[in-house]
Amino acid sequence: MSKVPYKIISTGSCGNAVVVNKSILIDCGVNFKALQPYYKDFKLVLLTHIHSDHFHKTAIRMLAQERPTLRFACGKWLAQAVVECGVAKENIDVLDFGIMYNYGICNIIQFPLVHNVPNCGYKIHFPIGKVIYATDTNNLNGITARDYDLYLIEANYEDAEIQEKIKAKQENGEYAYELQVIRNHLSKAKCDDFIYRNIGRSGEYVYMHCHREELE
For residue 116, the tally of other CB atoms under 10 A from its CB is 13
Number of domains composing the chain:
1
pTM: 0.94
Span 48-86, pLDDT tens digits: 999 999 999 999 999 999 999 999 999 999 999 999 999
In a domain, 1, yes or no: no
* Residue 51 near residue 136 (C-beta atoms within 8 A): yes
Span 10-51, pLDDT tens digits: 999 899 999 999 999 999 999 999 999 999 999 999 999 999
Q: Tell me, what CATH number does 76's domain have?
A: 3.60.15.10
Residue 147: which domain range?
6-215
Element (H, E) at 121: strand 119-126
Cα 10 to its chain centre, rounded Å, is: 11
In a domain, 10, yes or no: yes
Q: Which residues contact 9 (CB under 8 A, 6 or more apart)?
A: 15, 17, 18, 19, 30, 34, 35, 38
Q: How high does pLDDT run on average in the chain?
A: 94
Span 117-127, pLDDT tens digits: 999 999 999 99
In a domain, 66, yes or no: yes
Give residue 214's pLDDT: 38
Does residue 211 carry a pLDDT above 70?
Answer: no
Maximum Cα–Cα distance across the chain: 56
